[in-house]
C-alpha cells in the first residue's frame, strides 16, 4: 500500500573522489516501522543517512517524503520535513542542560527572550506522550551516555520528527540501556513515528526490527522481515562469506607478571575519586577482562594506566619497571599498546593519512626515519601491509583518516596497536563499531597475540565479549574491584548481578 510509505529513495548514488559509497540505492520506509540497516564497515550506511538528513547531496537519485519529491539541501530542510538524525557521535553541547540542548536552534520566543516556561511545558507533554523521562535541568555532560542519547532523541521529537534515524545507537550502551532504548523505540512506533536503525549487533536486529535492509559495497542486497532470515544468514549476506559468530576459546597458559597496579587511586575530571585503591596483575599469555557498567571508573582507570591521566596515589609497574605517571611515551617504550575508548580524542589524528596514523607511536624510529628524515617508502609499505591484513576499506595509505567510515577508523587503531612490538595491551572497547566479520577477526587476533605472549587488559561494555575472551574477570563497581572471577566460574547472570550492585 503506497499511502503508508513515509520515505522512498530511488536510485541514490554518491561517489567520493572515485569511491562509490552508494550505488543506485532504492529504499522504502513505512509508517510506524523500525527498519534496520545492516552492512559491513564502509558499506555506505552513514553516507545514505547523511543524504536523507541533508548533510550530503547525492550525485544522482530521488527522495520522496510522503509521496512528494523533495530536495534536501541542508539539515534545516530535513528538520522541516520531519527528519531527525541521532549521530553516533552525539551533537549535544556538553555544558548545556538537557533543556537548553533540546530547544537549541528551535527556542520558543516570547517578546525578545526565550520562553523557558513554554519549552518546559512542551517537554513535559512529550515526556508523558512517549514515556521518555529526563531531568531538564541536569547538565548533559554529567549524564550517563544512555541519558545523553535520550536528550538527542528528545531533541528530534521536539522538532516534530516523524522519521527518526539512529546511527549505531547501541554501540555505546550497556545492555540495560539498550533495553530501555528499545522500549522507547517501541512506544515511538506506536505513535506512528518511523525509525531507521543502524547496528552491527545482529541479535538486536532480530529483536527489534520490522524490516531489515542489507547493504554491501554501496548496494542494497536485499530486504527481509526477521521471520524470513536469521543472524547467520544476515552475517553472510553482509560480509559475503561464512562468519563464526562465536570464537573458539582455548584456555590460557599464563606466564610471569607483565603488568601490575597497586593501590591505585585516580580522580575524575571533576575532582571526585573515580578509581579507589585498585590492585591487580596481568600475566603474559593472559587476558584479564574488566566488566562493569560504564561510568564506574573504567575510563579513568584505563587513562591513568596508559599514562594519560594523573594518579592520586598508587604504583604502576610494567615489564618489571615502576612507571612514572603521565608519561605515555615511557609506557610505550616499555611495551605498552593501547586501544583507547574514545578513538577520536586519543586514538587518531583525523586530518593525517592512514599511513601516518599507523606509525603515531613509532614514527621516530627506524625504518620510518633515515638520515634524520622521514622514510616515506617504509611508511607506505607498512601501511599497505596493514590495510590488507586488517581489511581496511580505503583508497590507499594516503587517504586521510577523517574520510574513513567509523568502523574503518577503528581498524586503523587496531592495526597499529596489534602490529607493534609490545608486551602489554590495554584494549578498551576494541570492537566498538566493527562489523561482525571484523569482530571475528579481532577476537581471533587477540587470542593469537595472547598465545604469543601478550598480556591483555580487556575493558568492554559487551559482557559477551568479556566472557568469551577473558581468562580472569574483574568486576568494577563505583571505582573499586569488587570481585575477581575465573572464567570457568563466570556466568552472564552472576557477573551482571555484581556489575549492578557490587556483590553477587
Ligand X SMILES: Nc1ncnc2c1ncn2[C@@H]1O[C@H](COP(=O)(O)OP(=O)(O)OP(=O)(O)O)[C@@H](O)[C@H]1O
User: What are the residues binding ligand X (CB under 6 A)?
Assistant: 16-17, 19, 21, 39, 41-47, 393-394, 403-408
Stretch of residues binding Mg ion (CB under 5 A), selected from 43-51, 287-295, 346-354, 452-460: 43-51
**Smallest distance from Mg ion to CB 458, Å:** 24
For Mg ion, the closer of residues 89 and 444 by Cβ is 89
Whole-angstrom distance, CA of residue 496 vs CA of residue 481: 14
Cβ(430)–Cβ(414) below 8 Å: yes
Stretch of residues binding Mg ion (CB under 5 A), selected from 44-52, 100-108, 137-145, 149-157: 44-52
**Smallest distance from ligand X to CB 410, Å:** 8
What DSSP assignment string belongs to 50-88? Answer: HHHTTSS--SEEEEEETTEEE---SHHHHHHTTEEEE-S
Of these partners, Mg ion, ligand X, none, which one is at the site of residue 174 (CB under 5 to 8 Å by kind)?
none
State which of positions 386-405 bind Mg ion (CB under 5 A).
405
**Smallest distance from Mg ion to CB 405, Å:** 5
Task: Output DSSP code: residue 225.
Answer: -
**Smallest distance from Mg ion to CB 54, Å:** 17
For ligand X, the closer of residues 168 and 303 by Cβ is 168
Stretch of residues binding Mg ion (CB under 5 A), selected from 6-14, 42-50, 177-185, 261-269: 42-50
What residue spans of 167-230 are helical by DSSP H? 175-190, 202-208
Task: Output DSSP code: residue 344.
Answer: I
Of these partners, Mg ion, ligand X, none, which one is at the site of residue 41 (CB under 5 to 8 Å by kind)?
ligand X
Of these partners, ligand X, Mg ion, none, which one is at the site of residue 420 (CB under 5 to 8 Å by kind)?
none
Which residue in 5, 398, 353, 410 sits closest to 172, CA to CA?
A: 410
**Smallest distance from ligand X to CB 72, Å:** 17
**Smallest distance from ligand X to CB 490, Å:** 30
Q: Which residue is nearest to ligand X (CB)?
A: 407
For Mg ion, the closer of residues 51 and 331 by Cβ is 51
Output the nine-digit C-alpha cell for 263.
593501590
Whole-angstrom distance, CA of residue 436 vs CA of residue 210: 21
Return all residues near 367 (Cβ < 8 A) that are at least 6 apart: 375, 378
Whole-angstrom distance, CA of residue 161 vs CA of residue 164: 6
Q: Where are the beta strands (DSSP E) in 323-454?
A: 336-339, 369-370, 373-374, 424-428
* Residue 84 in contact with Mg ion, rule: CB under 5 A: no
For ligand X, the closer of residues 17 and 256 by Cβ is 17
For Mg ion, the closer of residues 46 and 415 by Cβ is 46
Q: Which of 22, 28, 46, 296 binds Mg ion (CB under 5 A)?
A: 46
352 exposure class (CB count in 10 Å sphere: 0-12, 13-18, 19+): middle
For ligand X, the closer of residues 262 and 393 by Cβ is 393
Whole-angstrom distance, CA of residue 354 vs CA of residue 396: 8
For ligand X, the closer of residues 48 and 318 by Cβ is 48
Residue 469: how many other CB atoms lie within 10 Å: 24
Whole-angstrom distance, CA of residue 490 vs CA of residue 75: 47
Q: Which of 314, 406, 430, 479 binds Mg ion (CB under 5 A)?
A: 406
Whole-angstrom distance, CA of residue 168 vs CA of residue 173: 10
For ligand X, the closer of residues 234 and 258 by Cβ is 234
* Residue 409 in contact with Mg ion, rule: CB under 5 A: no
Question: Binders of Mg ion: how many residues, by CB under 5 A?
Answer: 3
Residues that bind Mg ion (CB under 5 A): 46, 405-406
Amino acid at each position: 500500500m503506497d499511502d503508508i510509505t513515509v520515505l522512498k529513495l530511488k536510485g541514490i548514488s554518491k561517489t567520493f573522489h572515485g569511491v562509490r559509497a552508494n550505488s543506485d540505492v532504492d529504499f522504502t520506509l513505512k509508517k510506524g516501522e523500525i527498519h534496520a540497516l545492516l552492512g559491513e564497515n564502509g558499506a555506505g550506511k552513514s553516507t545514505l543517512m547523511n543524504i536523507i538528513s541533508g548533510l550530503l547531496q547525492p550525485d544522482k537519485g530521488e527522495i520522496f517524503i510522503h509521496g512528494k519529491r523533495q530536495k534536501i539541501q541542508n539539515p534545516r530542510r530535513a528538520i522541516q520535513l520531519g527528519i531527525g538524525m541521532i549521530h553516533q557521535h552525539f551533537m549535544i553541547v556538553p555544558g548545556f542542560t538537557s533543556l537548553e540542548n533540546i530547544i537549541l536552534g528551535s527556542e520558543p520566543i516570547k517578546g525578545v527572550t526565550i520562553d523557558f516556561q513554554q519549552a518546559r511545558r512542551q517537554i513535559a507533554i512529550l515526556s508523558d506522550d512517549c514515556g521518555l523521562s529526563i531531568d531538564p535541568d541536569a547538565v548533559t555532560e554529567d549524564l550517563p551516555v544512555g541519558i545523553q542519547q535520550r536528550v538527542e532523541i528528545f531533541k528530534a521529537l521536539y522538532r516534530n520528527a516523524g522519521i527518526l534515524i539512529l546511527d549505531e545507537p547501541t554501540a555505546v550502551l550497556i545492555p540495560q540501556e539498550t533495553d530501555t532504548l528499545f522500549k522507547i523505540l517501541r512506544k515511538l512506533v506506536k505513535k506512528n513515528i518511523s525509525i531507521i536503525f543502524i547496528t552491527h549487533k545482529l541479535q538486536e536486529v532480530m529483536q527489534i526490527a520490522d524490516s531489515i535492509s542489507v547493504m554491501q559495497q554501496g548496494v542494497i542486497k536485499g530486504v527481509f522481515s526477521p521471520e524470513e532470515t536469521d543472524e547467520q544468514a544476515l552475517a553472510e549476506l553482509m560480509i559475503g562469506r561464512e562468519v563464526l559468530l562465536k570464537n573458539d576459546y582455548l584456555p590460557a597458559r599464563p606466564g610471569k607478571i607483565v603488568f601490575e597496579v597497586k593501590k591505585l587511586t585516580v580522580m575524575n575530571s571533576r575532582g571526585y575519586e573515580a578509581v579507589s585503591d585498585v590492585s591487580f596483575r596481568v600475566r603474559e599469555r593472559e587476558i584479564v577482562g574488566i566488566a562493569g557498567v560504564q561510568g564506574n571508573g573504567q575510563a579513568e582507570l584505563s587513562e591513568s594506566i596508559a599514562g594519560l591521566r594523573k594518579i592520586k596515589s598508587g604504583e604502576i609497574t610494567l615489564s618489571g619497571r615502576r612507571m612514572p605517571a603521565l608519561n605515555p611515551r615511557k609506557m610505550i617504550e616499555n611495551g605498552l599498546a593501547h586501544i583507547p575508548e574514545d578513538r577520536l580524542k586519543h586514538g587518531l589524528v583525523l586530518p593525517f593519512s592512514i599511513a601516518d596514523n599507523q606509525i603515531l607511536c613509532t614514527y621516530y624510529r627506524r625504518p620510518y626515519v633515515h638520515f634524520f628524515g622521514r622514510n616515506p617508502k617504509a611508511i607506505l609499505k607498512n601501511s599497505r601491509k596493514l590495510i590488507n591484513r586488517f581489511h581496511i576499506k580505503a583508497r590507499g595509505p594516503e587517504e586521510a583518516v577523517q574520510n574513513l567510515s567509523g568502523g574503518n577508523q577503528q581498524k586503523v587503531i587496531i592495526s597499529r596497536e596489534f602490529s607493534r612490538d609490545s608486551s602489554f595491551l590495554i584494549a578498551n572497547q576494541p570492537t566498538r563499531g566493527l562489523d561482525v566479520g571484523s569482530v571475528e577477526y579481532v577476537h581471533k587476533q587477540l587470542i593469537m597475540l595472547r598465545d604469543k605472549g601478550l598480556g591483555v587488559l580487556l575493558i568492554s561494555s559487551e559482557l559477551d565479549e568479556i566472557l568469551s575472551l577473558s581468562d580472569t574477570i574483574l568486576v568494577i563497581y563505583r571505582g573499586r574491584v569488587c570481585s575477581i572471577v575465573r572464567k570457568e566460574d563466570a556466568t552472564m547472570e552472576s557477573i551482571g548481578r555484581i556489575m549492578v550492585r557490587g556483590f553477587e
